[in-house]
Structure 1
Amino acid sequence: MSWINVCNEANLPLGTGIAAWVAGNPVAIFNLGRDGLYAIDNIDPATGVGLLARGLICEMEGELCVASPLYKQHYRLTTGVCIEDNTLIASPFDIKTEQGQVLVLAKA
């Protein structure tokens, strides 16, 4: 596994998500300012559609989540586990910034 440079940190919109390809994987990246950066699989496990990056950020049960635009399931940004159905998981990716660049750890 290796760290993949996705973009310049200054180009990430605040409070919303972007979609990126990381070593062949669709990834939703969320910039939540002081709350940090998060990355999960962009494919909604409930529908198989790549759209989680377009979801709304919210807090549920004390955790930051993204609400899927289609059927409104809520996926925890830390674990990717769906609040409404814990069998649905949008796999999380490790993410960090280094020298102003956003890096995501590619999965094998």
Structure 2
Amino acid sequence: MTAVDLSPAAVGDPATPRAWVAVCRLKDLVRERGAAALVDGEQVALFRLHDDEVLAVQQRDPFTGSHVLSRGIVGGRGGVPTVASPLHKQVFDLRTGACLDPGGDDAPRLRTWPVRLENGTVLVGVVGGTVGGAVGPAPTTEVAQ
């Protein structure tokens, strides 16, 4: 079994996941597009990049409060994978959650989740009894494309 750990170091998450929740198969995700997943009651936006790296951020747009980021425009700035909100087009770094638009230092950040791939399955990290730091019941999963 081969596991490629893609996110904890990349997103700077100091917490090590205590468990990994299977969300979907890698082949279910379209390259350069987003998909929404309900993980432990929390809406998460998953993005499969051109090189099959998968990154996860909160589905909620911090500027509008709408759960739409999986429908954003996937791109890049200076080699950094990004998503632009489909509503007001703020651009976020998919690895760190930072807003890359002017005034981004003061802008809200997206929460990120550790992701890894195991035998073609996308797994989202559960940290300290929570998924991505959100308190909730035992992990469950639903995926919407």
Aligned length: 108
Provide the secondary structure at the position in 2 that maps to 1:53: helix
1:102 pairs with one of 122, 127, 132: 122
Separation in 2 of the partners of 1:35 and 1:13? 9
Q: Is the 8 A contact 2:23 2:39 kept in 1?
A: yes
Runs of 4+ in 1 over 6 A off after TM superposition: none
* TM value normalised by structure 2: 0.70
Using CA pairs under 8 Å that are at least 6 residues apart, name the structure with larger relative contact order, 1 or 2: 2
Provide the secondary structure at the position in 1 that maps to 2:123: strand
Distance 1:77 1:37, change over 3 A: same
Identity in percent: 36
Gaps of 5+ in 1: none
Separation in 2 of the partners of 1:94 and 1:70? 26
1:92 paired with 2:112, answer yes
Query: Which amino acid is 2:83 matched to?
Result: V
Separation in 1 of the partners of 2:87 and 2:27? 29
Alpha-carbon shift at residue 60 of structure 1 (Å): 2.0
* TM value normalised by structure 1: 0.92
- In our comparison, the structure showing a higher alpha carbon Rg is 2
Superposed CA RMSD: 1.4
Separation in 2 of the partners of 1:38 and 1:73? 18
